[in-house]
């Protein structure tokens, strides 16, 4: 399964619903996006995910830690 946000295939299922497996949560190990399989296609499919929120490798590599870690 590819990540809706960065389209990377390094994803893993984190957890199933505690009752009746009605949903599950998946995490992208590349950009750290998480989503529930029952959310809308706009949040679960790369082709429908809003372009303004999509990430690529260059953006991910240059993202700052938030909040910034103080340098001594």
Does the CA dihedral 42-5-52-70 come out positive or negative?
positive
Residue 9 DSSP class: S
Q: How far is CA 26 from CA 6, 16, 42, 58, in A?
A: 14, 9, 15, 23
Q: Whose CA is closest to 46, among 28, 25, 21, 24?
A: 28
Structure confidence by residue, pLDDT tens digits, 20-62: 999 999 999 999 999 999 999 999 999 999 999 999 999 999 9
Pairing mode, strands 24-28 and 11-16: antiparallel
Predicted structure pTM score: 0.83
């Amino acid at each position: 399964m590819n990540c809706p946000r960065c389209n990377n295939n390094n994803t893993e299922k984190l957890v199933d619903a505690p009752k009746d497996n009605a949903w599950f949560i998946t995490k992208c190990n590349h950009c750290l996006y998480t989503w529930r399989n029952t959310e809308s296609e706009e949040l679960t499919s790369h082709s429908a995910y809003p372009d303004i929120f999509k990430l690529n490798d260059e953006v991910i590599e240059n993202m700052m830690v938030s909040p910034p870690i103080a340098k001594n």
